[in-house]
Structure formats: C-alpha cells, structure tokens
Amino acid sequence: MTGTKKWLSFLVCVFLLTGLLAACGGGGSGGSSSPAASSPSSNQPSASSPAAVSGEKKKLTLWFIDTGKRKELIEETVKEFMDAHPDIEVEAVQIPNDTYKTKLPVAMGGNNPPDLFHSWGGGWLKEFVNAGQVMDLTGRIDPENYLPAAINIATFDGKIYGAPLAMSLTLFFYNKEMFEKNNLQPPKTFDDLLRIVDTFKAQGIAPIAMANKTKWPGALWLIYLANRIGGSDIFTDAFERKGRGFDDPAYVRTGELIQQLVDRGAFINGFNGLDYDTGQSRQFLYTENAVMELQTSSYVTNVRSEMPGFEEKLGIFPFPAVEGGAGNATDLVGGVSPVFSISSKTKYPDEAVELLKAITSKELAQKFADHAGVVTAVKGVEYKDKFAVMMNEYLQQAQFLQPFYDQTLPPEMAELHKDTTQALFGKTITPEEAARQMEDAAKRILDK
Amino acid sequence: MTGDASRIRRQNRLSKGLFLCFFIGPALLVYAVYNIYPIFATFFYSLYEWTGIENTRTFVGFENYARLIRDNIFHRSLGNNILLVFASVLTQIPLGLALALLLQSRIKGMRLFRTVYFLPFLMSTVAIAILWMFIYNPTFGVLNRALADIGLASLQRSWLGEPSTAMWAVIATICWQFTPFYMILLRAGLAGIPEELLEAARIDGCTPWKSFTRITLPLLVPTLVTACVLSTIGSLKYFDLIYVMTEGGPDSATELMATYMYKQAFRQFSMGFASAVSTCMFILAFIVAATILSLDRYRARGGN
C-alpha cells in the first residue's frame, strides 16, 4: 500500500474502534432505559443540576407520570429539595402513562430501577412488593399524614410500601350550558340518565363521549354500575372469595345495562377505536358534539391545558343511583395517583425517604389542590379551586371508595376484566358470558 | 522451491485472514452480543415461569409451549399475521412495481413524484398511526366525511372501532407505509436490466406488455424474491402500527403475535410465556425465509 493509503486505513480503524467503544459506553450507562422510541416526553430530565461536578453528590432518580401543571409543581418541589440538600442530586424523569407501565418492570427486571417510582398502589404495586423490589416504609413515614383510604391502598400485610399524594375520583364531566338549554338537571337515577340520553339523541347530538381503545374508560362504567346494583361489597366479596362471585346476578345486570345504553345510541360512534390520551373523546365535548363523559378527575387538568375557554361550561355530577339496587349513591370509584414508593435496591435509603416525604408533603399537596384542581390524599389541605371543593365534598360524603378493578386484581384477571368489558360495549359477548369468564378466571387464579 | 512458495502462500492467506478478522471482528462481536445471544436467551427464558421483575424463576420445561398451542388468542394473532403476510405481499409488491415502472417513464414531473411517493416511508410509524387514527375517526375523520360527500354515506363505518373492519383498516395503513420501500427496491432492480435488451425487443416489434412479461419480469425475479422475503418476515414480526392504532383490539380483532407477546411480557408479568411466543415467531420466520430462499435456489439452478 502507498503511504497515504496506509494512513487512511489506519484512521478508519481508529474511528471504527472509537465508535464501538463509545456505543458500548453509552449503552452501559443508559442501562435500564428502553430504546429510543420511549424516551420521556419532557425534553430533558428536568430538575437535574446542569453542572454535576463532584462525584461526591448522592444521586437519586425519581420516575413519575404526571403531566401539565402537576409536572411543573413536582419539578418545583424537587428543585427546592435539592436547594435544601446540597449534597443530593435528584434526576426527576416524567414518563407518559402507558410507556411507564412497560418501562418500570423492565427497569426492575434489569436490576437498574429508579430510587423513587410512581404507582397506583393496589395489585400492580403488590406485584413489585412480592418480587422484593420495594422498600418497607413502616416506621419511616407517618401514616397519620394521609387519608386512610389512600394509605391503605399501599399497605400490604400490615406494612406500608408507598406514600400517596393525590386522589383520582371518577365523575361525570358535562357541558352545563347544554343541560341548561334543555332544562335538564344532573340525573339522580339511572332512569334520569336514560331520559337525558334520549333528549339529546332526539336532537342528533351524541349524549355520552367515550374513548375506549385502551379499555379502562369503559371499565369505569362497569365498576360504578356493579357498585350501584350489587352494593359496596360486591367487588370485595368476589375478589376475596367471600360468598358472591364475579358471576353474581349484579354483574350480569351490569352487563345488561351497559348494552342497553349502547343499543340506545348513548355513546359516540366508534368509541372502541378511539384513543383517550390523544383527546379523541374530549374533542367531542369541546366541539359540543357530545354532552358528557364519565372520567377521572384529571379531566379538569386536561381541559385547562387543551381548551381553557371550555372550563366555564364544565360541570361535574356523581354517578346516579340505580333504582332497586343495593348500592349507595354516595359511593365513589376512584384511585390514588400518584403513590410514590422507594426501590429496595436504592443506594441511599435515608435520603430517598427524605425525598419521599418532600414529594408527598402537605405543601406540595396544597399546591396541587390550588393549581391543578386535584383532591389530595394528604390531610390538612384547604381547597379553593371550585372543582377541588366539589370533589372534596363528594369525598367527605362517601362512605366507601371503590378502587379501579385493574389496579387491584392480579394482572391476568385485570386484563380479562378490561377485555370482557370492552367486548360488552362492543356487543361481541353476552353479559352472562362476560361474568362467567371472570368467575372462571377467579376460580383458577384466586382460589389458591 | 515449491515448498517455499506454498509456505509463502499459506502465510499470505493467514495474514489476510487475520486482517479480515480484525475488520469484521468488532461488527461480528456486536452482532453476536445483540442479535445471536438474545435469541438463545429468549429460548432459555421460555422454559421458565418468570414475572420478569424478580430474580427467581421456576423451570417448567415446555409447558409454556403447550399453553401456547391451546391458546385461542394466539391462534387469532397467528391468523392475523398470516392475513397480513398475504395482504402485504399481494399489495405492496405489485403496487411498488407499478410505481417503479411509472417512475421510469418519461412523463413530465415524474421526478417530483419520486419524492412524493417516497414520503410515507420517511415518516415515523407513530406519526403515521396518529395521522391515520384521525383519518379513520368515525365522526370527524376525512374518510367518512369524504364518503358522505360523494354520496356513499352508507359505506361509513367506525373503521377502528368495529372488529370486522379494524384489521383491514390497519392493513391499508401498513401498505401505505411500506409500498414506497418496495418501489425503491424494485426501481433499483429495474435499473439493473440492460437497456439494450429492451431496445432490441422494441426493434423486433415486441409489444410493451410482452417485453414486460418476457424480459423485465424474469430478470426481476431475484429482486422480487428479496422483496417477498422482506415482506413476509416483516409481516410476521410486525408490531408498531397495530400497537399505536388499536393495541390489538377491539376485542383482539387486530392482535398480532408481537402485540400479544408484548402484553404478556409487560402487562401480565409473564415473561416466560412471552418468551415462548417470541421463540415461536422466530422459528416461523426462520422456516419461511429458509423455504423461500431454498425454493429460489432451486429455481435459479434451473430446477435441478
């Protein structure tokens, strides 16, 4: 080879090797993060100090899913925490809901979990607890700071595994103006609801919006109807195998009422193919092509960031009673979100507990209530936001808070519950068949 | 003297060999670690029952595979994959070929269309999924609105919401996304056909159709085989669009093996079972690819 050619090929070799080393190095430190597609939605890991100079700083990672105003408030709190603790650096990463559900198990399995992570308590968190991945917080945080229903959802076998920050209540969000124009009041009974449905249907307006591609919005209907028909204990009885099963007549009747609503044309067209996260149901309310939607309380946050002008028309009412049913019309379906837990593999347990207390503190909870229209799980918060005040009232009156089924059931049954419910809405399954499938699964999985 | 010459030859071959290894080495290493190893690891995991989030696993042998064979949803997803294979091969490749031929013609403005036709392939899959979700929206979407405007309102459907139409709607989007790729592939293949052959045929009075079927097509067969292998394997492995557009629903109407595997692994915490699904996919794709390629070799050798 000539001199220049030799040089050239030498340079190429060097580039190749450096490229290889760089790729390996980058991959190594990236560790548990999943490939490019699921990078966190925020532009960069917020709240990490730009010039992390000394290697002496203790590093904590926090994974959360909150968006909009809630994300800002969390990041603010993290920053305050870092200012108060100069020796601790916190990397707070926001990950969208569905991506998060994949990312966390992968991180756990890959032995590279974040120090603090979000969950909704219940069955999903229990999976991680059973796998020995969650730190026992009993004795390290004070459960008296939190609402009993909220802290209980993260307590298993008498041990506390998470601290709650906010509650999520499921209510009807509706267009007050359209109701007024038709002289309608929020329904007290299911028959009232049917009358309202008929009124709007006659005008060619879809009464109820729903985006059920991800299956959980439809499940909200099933949970409420089962509660209103079968009483507060219907789910607990079936789940804990205490007499009634998932094939109880209450569940069958629930399926029938759902299909009655579908047959009546109560819902917008093609709801089983619409995606909630990209706003495909909310757009119906914004454009006044639908009047109401049964959803979780983050609806308010969404309206505020997507169509602030709609907020003055927005009202809320609780799920009506079903005549002849055994349930209380004050019962609420809801969950706790976020619940923050600490990984059992964290290198700095004491610091992690400090951070946990900061992000489930009364101060942050108050800010959540004031700016994000959220009902919090922390005691002692005063509500000024009009929606938060209303929701808090409903919460105070409620004697029972029914958690979402898919947060409590073991994963296989949770998926079956969502699948059968979506099939009920799509009328590809009979109410009896749906109930039977759930009971068969329960016998197989829960009767151990 | 001969001994010396052969020794020198051997030394040359040895040093050449080492030289080659030095260059192939890094790439081969990366390939082995990130491609070969995971295949074996997946098969290894499929023999266990494992949640994927803890360090303990239970050995269950081939029980996951037994469960797979009985599983209705897996059968449905396999059926959907096969449907996708046929739809892809029978749509994307002929369309790609048609577009490639069109691009070759001397119609004015064709160069612009080359870019335009290629655009779908450049878009990110998620962007395409969301775009088409809005197009298929039963109330606001362009498709149903257009049908109403031309008086075919009776054909309106909730495309992604009904089990009967969902799979076809998604297949249409997939074809839209990948046809440009085959257009480019076949265009390259067409470029490899010597101009003189077609000239000679034209001079001899051959009709365009005859020259296409007798000259172009036969010479395109290697490229077409490649296209078939790519399309088939791609369809057997497909995940992206279905996951974003329908998540395998409604009611498992659009479930594919890959989406089923994903749900089992990350929603149901059944990593072992998901690994079994994954291994099945690999074996299927391998068999199909091997069959197509060996059939092609058989044909290339003139049927010997």
Q: Report, as an integer, the average pLDDT of B53-81.
A: 90
| Residues of B in Cβ contact (< 8 Å) with A12 | none
Q: Give the ipTM of the model, two decimals please.
A: 0.75
Q: Is residue B53 part of a domain?
A: no
The overall longest dimension of chain B from CA atoms, in Å, is: 91
A32 touches chain B (CB under 8 A): no
Whether residue B153 lies inside any domain: the answer is no
Of B87, B254, B109, which is closest to residue B174 (Cα–Cα)? B87
Q: List B residues 51-110 in contact with A (Cβ-Cβ < 8 A).
A: 51-55
Asked if B249 lies within 8 A of A272 by C-beta distance, the reply is: yes
pLDDT on residue A35: 37
Q: Is some CB atom of chain B closer than 8 A to the CB atom of A100?
A: no
Q: Does residue B67 lie in a domain region?
A: yes
Measured CA to CA, the distance from residue A135 to residue A353 in angstroms comes to 10
Looking at the complex, does the CB of residue B250 fall below 8 Å from at least one CB of chain A? Answer: yes
Contacts of residues A388-393 at CB distance under 8 Å and 24 or more positions apart, as own/partner, are A390/A316, A391/A169, A391/A171, A391/A297, A391/A316
CA distance B139 to B218: 48
Lowest mean per-residue pLDDT among A90-99, A103-112, B51-60, B138-147: B51-60
Q: Divide the 448 residues of chain A into consecutive groups of 10 and give the mean pLDDT of each group.
A: 72 75 49 37 41 67 89 93 93 88 88 93 88 92 87 89 92 95 94 95 94 93 96 90 91 96 93 88 93 92 88 94 91 91 93 93 90 84 88 86 88 91 94 95 85
Grade residue B299 by pLDDT with cuts at 50, 70 and 90: confident
Tell me how close the Cα of A310 comes to any Cα of chain B, in angstroms: 19
Task: Give the pLDDT mean for B227-252.
Answer: 90
Q: Give residues 284 to 323 of A whose Cβ lies within 8 Å of B.
A: 284, 289
As a whole number of angstroms, the distance between CA A201 and CA A199 comes to 6
Cβ under 8 Å to B: A residues 214-253: 214-215
Give the pLDDT score at B133: 92
So what's the pLDDT on residue B212? 86
Question: B18-21: long-range contacts at Cβ-Cβ below 8 A with a sequence spacing of 24 or more?
Answer: none
- For the sheet containing A58-64, what is the strand order? A88-94, A58-64, A116-119, A339-342, A163-164
Looking at residue A271, what DSSP letter applies?
G
Closest chain A residue to the Cα of B126, Cα to Cα: A37
- Residues in B closer than 8 angstroms to A213, CB to CB, are 160, 246-247, 249-250
Which sign, positive or negative, has the C-alpha torsion A239, A242, A248, A249? negative
Q: Where are the strands (E) in A87-200, listed by range?
A: 88-94, 116-119, 155-156, 159-160, 163-164, 166-175
Residue B48 covered by a domain: no
- Give tens-digit pLDDT for B166-190: 999 999 999 999 999 999 999 999 9
Q: Give the three-state DSSP class for A74.
A: helix
B104 inside domain: yes
* Closest chain B residue to the Cα of A107, Cα to Cα: B53
Q: Is the pLDDT of residue B277 over 70?
A: yes
User: pLDDT at position A77, please?
Assistant: 94
Distances from the Cα of A412 to the Cα of A123, A255, A446, angstroms: 11, 20, 11
The region of weakest confidence among A237-241, B66-70, B102-106, B274-278 is: B102-106
Res B66 pLDDT > 60: yes
B182 within a domain of the structure (yes/no): yes
Q: How far is A282 from chain B (nearest CA, A)?
A: 13
Extract the tokens encoding B225.
């085989």
CATH number at residue B78: 1.10.3720.10
pLDDT tens for each residue of B81-91: 999 999 999 99
What is the number of domains present in chain B?
1
Q: What is the pLDDT of residue A424?
A: 95
Check CB contact of B166 with chain A, cutoff 8 Å. Answer: yes
CA distance B283 to chain A (A): 24
- Let me know: does A131 contact A114? Beta carbons within 8 Å: no
Confidence (pTM): 0.79
B145 domain-assigned: no
**Alpha helices, DSSP H, located in B32-150:** 37-45, 63-70, 72-104, 110-122, 125-135, 142-149
- Give, for A296, the enclosing helix (H) or strand (E): strand A290-296
Do the Cβ atoms of A127 and B269 come within 8 Å?
yes
Q: What are phi and psi of A88, to 5 degrees?
A: -120, 135
Chain A hits for B52, Cβ within 8 Å: 105-106, 108-109
For A304-356, the DSSP string reads HHH-GGGGGGEEEEPPPB-TT-SS-TT-EEEEE--EEEEBTT-S-HHHHHHHH
Q: ∠ CA(A212), CA(A64), CA(A377), 5° rounding?
A: 85
- Measure CB to CB from residue A272 to each of B52, B161, B267 and give the nearest one: B161
* Partner B contacted by A419 (CB < 8 A): yes
> Which residue of chain B is at minimal alpha-carbon distance from A24?
B30
Q: Is residue B144 domain-resident?
A: no
Q: With an 8 Å Cβ cutoff, are B54 and A283 in contact?
A: no
Residue of chain A nearest B266, judged by CA positions: A102
Cβ-nearest to A415 among B158, B166, B268 = B268
Subunit contact B161:A274, Cβ cutoff 8 A: yes
Q: Write out the residue range of the structural domain in which residue B249 sits.
A: 63-127+166-303
Average pLDDT over residues B35-63: 89
- Whether residue B193 lies within 8 A of chain A, CB to CB, comes out as no
Best probe of the B interface among A98, A134, A213, by most B CBs < 10 A, is A213
Mind listing the pLDDT tens digit for each residue in B17-47? 888 888 888 999 999 999 999 999 999 999 9
Residue numbers in B near A108 (CB within 8 A): 52-54
CA of B140: how far to CAs of A266, A282, A303, B132, B133, in Å? 18, 13, 20, 12, 10
Q: How far is A272 from chain B (nearest CA, A)?
A: 5
Q: Are B52 and A422 in contact (CB < 8 Å)?
A: no
Q: B34-39: which pairs have CB atoms within 8 A and are 24 or more residues apart?
A: B39/B282
Return the residue of B nearest to A99 by Cα.
B266
pLDDT at position B251: 82
Q: What is the pLDDT of residue B303?
A: 59
Q: Which residue of B has its CA nearest to A206?
A: B139
* pLDDT of amino acid A47: 42
Of B160, B252, B270, which has the smallest distance from its Cβ to A273's Cβ? B160
In this prediction, residue B142 has a pLDDT band, given cuts at 50, 70 and 90, of very high
